[in-house]
Amino acid sequence: MIIRELERHEIRGVWSLDRAEVIDNVYYHEGGRLVLKPEHYDMDGWPPGEPEQYGPILLGCFDRGGTFYGAFDGQTLVGAVVLESKLIGRAGDQLQLKFLHVSRSYRKARLGRTLFEKAVAKARELGARRLYISSTPSENTVQFYLHLGCQVTEEVDEELFELEPQDIHLEFDIPA
């Protein structure tokens, strides 16, 4: 497995990641706490239109100086993480973890953790003190971030919340 920075022309490859997942429970943020509710979804890949909608957003992030790491098994992209370059938050000390996906057959092998740690190291290098994460509310995804030490944010970024109000908005304190 090789993890390296992606070049701009490789960004479209993220849509080849196998996002398939059966979801049985979804988190909601209610009354200041996370509430898990049964909801069933059989995600058979990317939702229709997502590559067309988010592709330009990812390219814009790259053009602003965002960091893109890809994990390769041979020539096949099997995981990716994207770190936005623009500092956000009241103190201007947060960077957004914009994208983190690992192909289905590579999950539960610590690849997601490794990609997350690469993003944390880069964010620290760029002077950030925290990561901001808009997490898909599925049980597995939220539990992944909580297991890494992320917490529900007390300081919701209004712009990001407006874009993804159903997501669980988290933050991660970057160790010095």
- Here the CATH number for the domain that contains residue 49 is 3.40.630.30
Q: In sequence order, which residues have a C-beta less than 8 Å from that of residue 152 and are 6 or more positions away?
A: 29, 33, 34, 168, 169, 170
Summarised one tens digit per residue, pLDDT across range 55-89 is 999 999 999 999 999 999 999 999 999 999 999 99
- Tell me which residue range forms the domain holding 30: 2-173
Summarised one tens digit per residue, pLDDT across range 6-60 is 999 999 999 999 999 999 999 999 988 999 999 999 999 998 899 999 999 999 9
Q: Is the pTM of this model over 0.85?
A: yes
Identify the helix (H) or strand (E) that includes residue 52.
helix 50-63
Summarised one tens digit per residue, pLDDT across range 95-148 is 999 999 999 999 999 999 999 999 999 999 999 999 999 999 999 999 999 999
In angstroms, the CA 123 to CA 121 distance is 5
Number of separate domains in the chain:
1
Nearest residue to 98 (alpha-carbon basis) of 119, 83, 86 = 83
